[in-house]
């Protein structure tokens, strides 16, 4: 009996991995076809929010770096408060612009004839923004709790050290994957307000799938970032960061090349967001439609 159950579990896990591979191929095909058919519309719709995101990011980084240099030259509680204030306000604005970008891309997938405007902040975008704020607060609270646990555990058992830090980082990433990966499609497809709970339930048992999608998307973004940096250095627009000998020089160098850095970061972010939203909506539709084998039972390894 035990042997038969073990074989069934192994076979089901194997089938699940095969189905993940098939689903990932479908996702790649769908993304490529969708981008090919809608590249012009995506470019048009994201032009203003993309420019706005870049402008906010520029002023955020500029203010942050300038205040940080001032703090390093003359430490002051007032300057530290200004740095934190800049980061807080800039992050809230960037989160809203991210919600707008994600909503515009998801609208194109969910509605072939989605209405277009230059900068539309509809109910869908506000729903994403509201859910994202709740998720950030949840992750922040978890990070604080885990950080305190890590601190006291490190004092009691100094040998834990790096393992405790890695455990905190892994826990935060796990929480984000459970709540955040399907947040956009849940906000698009579901009318109930319990978006985080629905996203949490949908991601249950699919962490391997989520991890593979995230790693692939991040790899594409990293390749684009690297290619952009090579082009900037080849054209003499951006100075190599290796010329900085200390933290102050590094920050000053970032400020001197801030326009190029901001453009490169903004383009990379838009590419990453577009690809991820397309993949998230497509996978969510497949999971909800139950067109592929369910994940292994709780506790099974995949």
Tens-digit pLDDT string for the chain (302 aa): 445 555 555 555 666 666 777 878 888 898 899 888 888 888 888 888 888 888 988 888 888 888 878 877 777 777 778 777 888 888 888 888 889 899 888 888 876 545 555 556 678 888 888 888 889 888 888 888 877 776 666 666 666 666 767 777 888 888 888 888 999 998 887 766 688 888 888 888 888 888 888 888 888 888 888 888 787 777 766 555 555 567 777 777 778 778 888 888 888 999 899 999 999 998 888 877 554 444 444 444 33
**Residue 54: inside a domain:** yes
Closest CA to 151 of 165, 171, 137: 165
Q: Are 102 and 275 in contact (CB under 8 A)?
A: no
Cα–Cα dist 163/209, whole Å: 25
Cα–Cα dist 213/128, whole Å: 21
Cα–Cα dist 170/283, whole Å: 23
Say which residue the tokens 């607060």 belong to.
Answer: 137
Closest CA to 206 of 98, 105, 280, 264: 280
**Residue 301: inside a domain:** no
Name the helix (H) or strand (E) containing 294.
none
Distance between terminal CA atoms of the chain? Answer: 22
**Residue 14: inside a domain:** yes
Give pLDDT, residue 297. Answer: 46
- The whole-model pTM stands at 0.78
Question: For residue 111, what is the DSSP state?
Answer: -
Helices vs. strands in the chain: H and E counts, helices first:
9, 0
The rounded Cα 179 to chain-centroid distance in angstroms is: 12
CA angle 32, 266, 256 (to 5 degrees): 145
Task: Output the CA–CA distances (angstroms, integers) from residue 53 to 48, 101, 124, 227, in the order listed.
Answer: 8, 9, 19, 21
Q: Are 82 and 69 in contact (CB under 8 A)?
A: no
Judged by DSSP in three states, 158 sits in coil
Closest CA to 213 of 19, 20, 12, 16: 20
Name the helix (H) or strand (E) containing 296.
none
**Residue 90: inside a domain:** yes
The total of other beta-carbon atoms located within 10 Å of residue 295's CB is 20
**Domain with 247 in it:** 2-289
**Residue 40: inside a domain:** yes
Give pLDDT, residue 38. Answer: 87
**Residue 299: inside a domain:** no
Cα–Cα dist 81/240, whole Å: 31
Give pLDDT, residue 291. Answer: 46
**Residue 297: inside a domain:** no
**Residue 296: inside a domain:** no
Closest CA to 56 of 94, 98, 102, 82: 94
Q: Are 181 and 202 in contact (CB under 8 A)?
A: no
Cα–Cα dist 171/182, whole Å: 18
Domain count, the chain: 1
Q: Are 260 and 205 in contact (CB under 8 A)?
A: no
Q: Are 269 and 53 in contact (CB under 8 A)?
A: yes
Give pLDDT, residue 277. Answer: 92
Cα–Cα dist 263/55, whole Å: 9
Q: Are 198 and 186 in contact (CB under 8 A)?
A: yes
């Amino acid at each position: 009996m035990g042997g038969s159950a073990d074989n069934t579990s192994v076979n089901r896990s194997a089938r699940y991995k095969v189905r993940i591979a098939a689903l990932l191929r479908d996702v790649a095909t769908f993304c490529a076809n969708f981008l090919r058919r809608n590249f012009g519309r995506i470019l048009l719709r994201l032009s203003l929010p993309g420019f706005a995101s870049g402008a906010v990011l520029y002023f955020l980084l500029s203010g942050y770096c300038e205040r940080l240099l001032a703090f390093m030259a003359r430490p002051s509680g007032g300057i530290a408060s200004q740095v934190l204030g800049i980061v807080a306000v800039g992050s809230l604005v960037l989160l809203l612009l991210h919600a707008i970008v994600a909503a515009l891309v998801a609208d194109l997938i969910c509605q072939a004839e989605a209405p277009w405007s230059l900068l539309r902040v509809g109910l869908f975008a506000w729903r994403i923004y509201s859910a994202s704020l709740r998720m950030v607060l949840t992750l922040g609270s978890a990070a604080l709790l885990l950080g305190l646990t890590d601190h006291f555990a490190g004092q009691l058992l100094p040998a834990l050290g790096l393992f405790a830090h890695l455990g905190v980082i892994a826990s935060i990433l796990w929480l984000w994957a459970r709540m955040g990966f399907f947040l956009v499609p849940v906000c698009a497809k579901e009318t109930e307000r319990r978006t985080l709970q629905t996203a949490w339930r949908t991601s249950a048992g699919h962490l391997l799938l989520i991890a593979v999608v995230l790693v692939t998307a991040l790899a594409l973004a990293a390749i684009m970032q690297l290619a952009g940096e090579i082009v900037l250095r080849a054209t003499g627009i951006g100075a190599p960061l290796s010329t900085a000998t200390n933290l102050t020089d590094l920050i000053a160098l970032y400020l001197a090349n801030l326009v190029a850095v901001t453009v490169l970061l903004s383009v990379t972010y838009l590419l990453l967001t577009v690809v991820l939203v397309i993949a998230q909506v497509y996978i969510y539709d497949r999971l909800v439609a139950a067109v592929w084998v369910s994940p292994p039972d709780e506790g099974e390894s995949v």
